[in-house]
Amino acid sequence: MTITLPGSDRALRPGKVLCIGKNYAKHAAEMQSAVPTEPVVFLKPATALIGDGETVVLPPMSQNVHHEVELVAVIGRGGKNIAEAEALDHVAAYAVGLDMTARDLQSKAKQKGHPWSIAKGFDTFAPLGNLAPAEAVPNPQDLHISLMVSGEKRQHGHTGAMVFRLATLIAYCSRIYTLDPGDLLYTGTPEGVGPVEDGDVLEATCTGLPSLRVTVRRD
Ligand code: MG
């Protein structure tokens, strides 16, 4: 999938899909996890990305795929060791996204101390809504974010409840990875995660952003 940054006419294929785990205390609690004292960072491959109107495909390897609705920041200006005070200047756009998770495979991986790359990385496991320019979001920590599954409200949260704020996350990630234009940062999910089934329609919304609608199909 490609994205086009606001003010640009060049389509980019995102190089990195950075994701943050357990970034809302109530979600950490529902996962029976402690609230992290440092950001929990993992990556998805770019092949997991799909756009609005596309289809999440449930893989045969998992019997329990969960939805996680998240605010996504799109990097416009890259950098390394970005200062927290300047971090939001590196964001070109925002979108609402879904961090689809094979919870059964993730639980097994956690038990064994293995990485989450399989549980989080299947094709179609990173739906991304259409982008809104960063100027449309005066404060990324003051947004309501929600998810309906086949007409039923399943998740609702407020980005003010993030454990680590977006600026902190960008600064932190940029100490590890050089950030490039088009990189995506999924900022973690509020509580209310749960399974999706063949035929479900997922509708994600976030204040000031285009909504995201995808359907679910079992492979
Ligand atoms: Mg997540």
- Interval 99-128: pLDDT, tens: 999 999 999 999 999 999 999 999 999 999
* DSSP element (H, E) containing 10: none
CA of 42 from ligand 1 middle (Å) equals 9
Q: Where are the alpha helices (DSSP H) in 67-185?
A: 103-112, 117-121, 166-176
- Give the pLDDT confidence score for residue 68 in this predicted structure: 98
CA of 86 from ligand 1 middle (Å) equals 25
Task: Look at the pTM and tell me if it is higher than 0.95.
Answer: yes
CA of 17 from ligand 1 middle (Å) equals 12
Cα(69)–Cα(45) distance, rounded to whole angstroms? 18
Q: What are phi and psi of 191, to 5 degrees?
A: -70, 170
CA of 8 from ligand 1 middle (Å) equals 29
Rounded mean pLDDT of 92-105?
98
Domains with residue ranges and CATH for the chain: 3-218 (3.90.850.10)
Rounded mean pLDDT of 146-172?
98
CA of 9 from ligand 1 middle (Å) equals 30
- Angle, CA 48 vertex, CA 42 and CA 49 arms, to 5°: 105
pLDDT, mean over the chain: 97
Digit-coded pLDDT (tens) for 179-218: 999 999 999 999 999 999 999 999 999 999 999 999 999 9
CA of 89 from ligand 1 middle (Å) equals 24
The sign of the torsion formed by the CA atoms of 26, 32, 34, 39 equals negative
Cα(191)–Cα(71) distance, rounded to whole angstroms? 14
> 91: Cβ–Cβ under 8 A, 6 or more apart, which residues?
73, 74, 75, 76, 134, 140, 166, 170
Give the whole-number percent of the chain exceeding pLDDT 90.
100
DSSP 30: H
CA of 82 from ligand 1 middle (Å) equals 23
Cα(55)–Cα(40) distance, rounded to whole angstroms? 28
CA of 85 from ligand 1 middle (Å) equals 25
CA of 124 from ligand 1 middle (Å) equals 14
SS3 content of the chain, % helix, strand, coil (to 5): 20, 35, 40
How, if at all, do strands 40-44 and 194-195 pair?
unpaired
| CA distances to 51, 120, 179 from 124, in Å | 9, 10, 23
CA of 11 from ligand 1 middle (Å) equals 26
